[in-house]
Amino acid sequence: MPGLIDCHVHFRDPGLTYKEDFETGTKCAVASGVTVVGDMPNNIPRIDSVETYRYKIGQIRNKSYCDYFLYVDMNASNELTKVVKLDVPPRAVKVYLPMERHYSLISRGDILRGLKYVFHAEHPRYIKKGEFSSIDELSKLRPPLAELMGIRYVVELAKKGLDVHITHVTTKAGLLEIIKARKEGLNITCDVTPHHLVFYEGKIDKSSPLFMVLPPIRKKEDRDFLIQAIREGHINAICSDHAPHAVDEKNNFHSGAYGIQSLQYLLPLVFSLCKKVRIDFRKILVMLSKNPAQIFGIQKRGWIKTGNYADIVVFDPKRKWVIDPDQCLSKAKISPYDGMIVTGKVIATFIRGQLIYEHGVFLKRIGKHI
């Protein structure tokens, strides 16, 4: 099959490399058949200027097993103008709508046109602050209404001509807003994550911080609608939102360690889900490869054809195995998937025609910034 493109990962490099770095993160990627990743800019320092963007490039150079593109954090238009003039500019701007600075810049129209803006679309006005000690309490602080109103806000920006992509959609109401906007002629793309497809409130241990993620895990009705939307072609991409944290940070609700590490398991998780809910995997594969390439303007990747780079994955669809934290390649050694039986195993991964990974052995580290 073609190499996968995961357009949403957090490799924590630079600044938080005790959680993950580009070497360990991209090992997880190629072990799951991912040949290109898009790394988010919430590093230390935040990647929102020419100086920090260049600094990140220098810090991650020669660490990567797969190819990668970078995001830049939302900043004033005059600063973004400088960044996009670099030799290898970012492919998108990440907008974390709940962040006061991001929301303020967007709201006052300080936006550089001609770029793709990827939104975490929870509206800050509908988010409550406070401590919590269960997933139920987190869901009350970050309710579905926050996502619905955030998506409505982004739709209005799209009506004004902004090129938008909405990441990790979780709710039926929010996705219906996107579908409605498309019927009105707006070109809005969106993605979903494995954890919002595999898990729902009735299926998780609500007392476990392992399920602490933003947006939160939703109700079964929302999860089932996401799956139906995949069947009907309303979802454009599936991405891991790989968000690793140290083990001690995921052992309590007060660490602020939102996110789930899942990149190593992306392909088997999604393949296993397809078998369970009876979705044609070929439909899903497009969401994992060709569609992300087209959304983010990645040339000659995402599908197998003459003239494209030979990003190819050899996959055994009958192999069953147990997700074991002892076999985890990430620095974040625990996840809510631990102990889960999945079907499908990556045997080998080729990037640009070169064999990078075979039967658990990493052979070459050739990843480059694209």
Choose, from 21, 39, 67, 241, the residue flagged as catalytic: 241
At 175 the pLDDT is: 98
Domains along the chain with CATH numbers: 4-362 (3.20.20.140)
Q: In the prediction, which pLDDT does 10 show?
A: 98
Q: What is the pLDDT of residue 120?
A: 98
pLDDT of the residue at 243: 98
> Can you give the pTM of this predicted structure?
0.97
Residue ranges, the chain, pLDDT below 70: none
pLDDT in tens, 117-140: 999 999 999 999 999 999 999 999
Q: Tens digits of per-residue pLDDT, 291-333?
A: 999 999 999 999 999 999 999 999 999 999 999 999 999 999 9
Can you give the pLDDT at residue 16?
Answer: 98
Q: Residue 307: what pLDDT?
A: 97
Residue type, 38: G
Query: Quick one: pLDDT at residue 161?
Result: 96
Catalytic annotation present for 241: yes
